[in-house]
Chain A
Amino acid sequence: MENLYLQKVLEGDVSKFSFFIEKYKDMSFSIAFRITNNREDAEEIVQDSFLKAFKSLNSFRSDATFSTWFYRIVVNSALSKQKRRKPGTVNIDPDTVPDSAIEQVASVYKSLAKADQQKYINDALGNLDVEDRLLLTLYYLNENSMEEIAEITSISKQLLKMKIHRARKKMYIILEKKIKSETHNLL
């Protein structure tokens, strides 16, 4: 299906490119936002990425998937924009937390209202490193495979597994802290 639209665009039917915009705009926005932590910047990055993708469509290899190729453009654009900004993250050592703590956090999280869940998870992600946020978004939200993430981020597959594991732990630590501090404030 995608290849058909791609072929049409390459043949000069520019209007068919809207298919790709509609399909990938929200997910690429999520990725760009997780890197920049700013809605305006993320929207601008997604716009620029679509333009870049259109301009270099001729160089796209048909043996790769369009999504992987496009997300790579989004990630690179967002990272180059992010480099100019000072990151505001929290230093956490994920090795100090056992896996059993995850169960506890998950059960408390499940009991929260949907709006609160969204608030906590977005806050928690906002406090992680750019790389951790990106990896969690690609792996758990976008459900990309390890191979695809390796291609998008240029991180080796062996290293990816470990990085995702650590990022997940860090996320649970922050989530636990956020939930605890909020319930403490309420009491």
Chain B
Amino acid sequence: MNTSDIENVTRHILAESKLELENPDFSNLVMHKIRRVNRKKTILHHTGLFFSMLFVIDALIIAGLKILKINVTDMCSNVNAFIHEFSFSIPGRSSLLFQFFMAYIFVLAGIVWGLNRLLASRYKLRN
């Protein structure tokens, strides 16, 4: 028996050792997991994108107002009076700024969540 024969015989013998997955839902299961992973990745990516876009837009608006020397609170006396009153009722100005910042983040998070929901429904239709 030469080497080539041995190779062929061994190949023939080992052909009987081939195994198959017995789970008929295996492919669906893996695809389901993959879709879930992909959805998470997409949501994370979109969240980052939306947040940075909204921050940039807001920063541009503030910069525009500064350049044009427009004071929004002066234009709106009711808001100005409210802020003035509110700033005296709480311990400090930094706390007020912090609360405004938190409110701003919450509003942004709400917008991002809404946009993600909108995109997720479109994604489900596509895949």
Q: Interface residues, chain A, CB within 8 Å of chain B?
A: 13-15, 17-18, 21-22, 25-26, 29-30, 33, 39, 43, 46-47, 50-51, 54-55, 99-100, 102-103, 106, 109, 114, 117-118, 121-122, 125, 136-137, 140-141, 143, 168, 171, 175
CA distance A50 to B21 in the complex (A): 14
The complex places the Cα of A18 from the Cα of B80 at a distance, in Å, of 60
Asked whether A26 lies within 8 Å of B21 as measured between CB atoms, the reply is yes
Q: Report whether A51 and B21 are in contact in the complex, using a CB–CB cutoff of 8 Å.
A: no
Residue among B11, B18, B22 making CB contact with A30, cutoff 8 Å: B18
Across the interface, do B1 and A140 meet the contact criterion of CB distance under 8 Å? no
Residue of A14, A100, A141 near B34 (CB, 8 A) is A14
- By a beta-carbon cutoff of 8 Å, the part of chain B in contact with chain A is 1, 6-7, 9-11, 13-23, 26-27, 29-31, 33-35, 37-38, 127
A-B contact count (CB 8 A): 93
The answer to whether B27 and A21 have CB atoms under 8 Å apart is yes
Instruction: Check if A30 sits within 8 Å of B13, measured CB to CB.
Output: no
Q: Measured between C-beta atoms, what is the minimum distance from A109 to chain B in Å? A: 6
Other CB < 8 Å A-B pairs besides A21-B31, A30-B17, A51-B33, 11 of them? A13-B127, A14-B34, A14-B127, A21-B27, A25-B27, A26-B20, A54-B34, A99-B1, A102-B1, A140-B10, A141-B17
Measured between alpha carbons, how far is A143 from B27 in the docked complex, in Å?
24
* Closest A residue by C-beta to B23: A43
Write 16 A-B pairs (CB below 8 A) sorted by A numbering: A14-B34, A21-B27, A22-B27, A29-B20, A30-B18, A33-B19, A39-B22, A47-B26, A51-B34, A54-B34, A117-B13, A118-B16, A125-B17, A136-B10, A141-B11, A141-B15
